[in-house]
Amino acid sequence: MRDVAIIGVGMNKWGELWQKSLRDIFVESALLAIQDAGVDRIDSMYVGCMTSGLFIGQEHLSSLLADYLGVGSIPSVRVESACASGGLAVRMGFMDVASGMSDIVLVGGVEKMTDVSGDGATYALSTAADQEYEVYHGITFPGLYALMARNHMDRYGTTREQLAQVAVKNHENGSKNPLAQFPHKITAEQVINSIMVADPLTILDCSPITDGAACAVLCPATMAEKISKKPPVKIIGTGNATDTIALHSRSDLTTLNATVKAAERAYQMAGVKPDDIDLAEVHDCFTIAEIIITEDLGFFKKGEGGKAVERGLTALEGQKPINTSGGLKSKGHPVGATGVAQVVEVVHQLRGEAEKRQVKDAKIGLTQNMGGSGGSAVVHIMQKM
């Protein structure tokens, strides 16, 4: 198996992109990544997208996007694993290069979510939950994560203020990210007093509906050393796992088992431990998700994630910076693109290109991307070459 490096990344400004189509926003980010890599060809392509059929009525993205990008008849695959589609596309691209099947692979993620009504978006997102046993009975993702939050609060003493501090921190980081959808600072009081969605989660505990895309170019590490215009970043570990899709089938609502298993596999492959990670981009679709994920990744003991946020340990200058990009909460969450955007942020950090949100002496970064209420998860670990 060949070592794999990332030699180019690209991402466009996220938000409500009314004047652009899905194909437009994907090609924008793809061309940025190709230009950043300095390559003149693509051997194959993987695109993460959760549900373009429900959001814009368009399937068959593997053909559509390869054609619109102008890369000819290359092998192209659309990857779906709910909100983990982007992370899984990166993993598929990694495996393609590592196996020797392709040398230069474009991996991307895209979603156009604002062309439907709020009800339409809620329905499209709900397809990532168990239709017969959850959605049919009226539950939504805010409701599922509210159940996790209440359980975590009752079991470990996590407070409403600690949940709010996750949003405050991520918006602080996002205010330094020019590509973020909501680059605005907020206060804990604003979070707590905003519109209630599913007790205890208010609207400012929830990630937004977003249009956007992100891409990266992968190649063998030996090739990267010869052709890369910028310092290449090596993918040293990758892990993927699944769990029951329905929340009620799990033995513990405060643990995301797919994340635990995916992380274990990525750590083992990389030969590193949680303490070796300098920064991480994690799937903060709701504030409670970040708290649980930081525990499941081994950064903090179970039940200590909320206290870690409160003490500033996950802040930009903290012991374990989390979501330096602003996370899903501030940067935005175009579901199919999120996992790739996390990789884009870590690459910028390891190259030393993150400007005002740069983590000092960052050498190893991690991304954690998950689908639905944690029914699937992908973890990548990257190191500066």
Catalytic residues: 83, 333
Of the candidates 331, 307, 321, 334, the residue with the CA atom closest to the CA atom of residue 366 = 321
- Sign of the CA dihedral running 54, 58, 60, 65: negative
**Cα–Cα distance, 272 to 67 (Å, whole number):** 40
Q: How many CA atoms lie within 13 A of 251 on its CB side?
A: 2
Provide the Cα torsion 372, 343, 88, 1; round to 10°: -150
- Collapsing DSSP to helix, strand or coil, 368 comes out as strand
**Cα–Cα distance, 317 to 188 (Å, whole number):** 19
Helix (H) or strand (E) run with residue 109 in it: strand 105-112
Q: How far is CA 266 from CA 155, 238, 369, in A?
A: 29, 4, 13
Query: How many residues in total does the chain contain?
Result: 385
- Collapsing DSSP to helix, strand or coil, 8 comes out as strand
Q: At what angle do helices 338-351 and 85-99 cross, to 10 degrees?
A: 60
**Structure tokens belonging to residue 8:** 């180019």
Under the phi-then-psi rule, with left for phi > 0, alpha for psi from -120 to 50, and beta for the rest, what region is 303? left
**Cα–Cα distance, 109 to 50 (Å, whole number):** 9
**Cα–Cα distance, 245 to 228 (Å, whole number):** 41
Strands 196-198 and 201-202: antiparallel
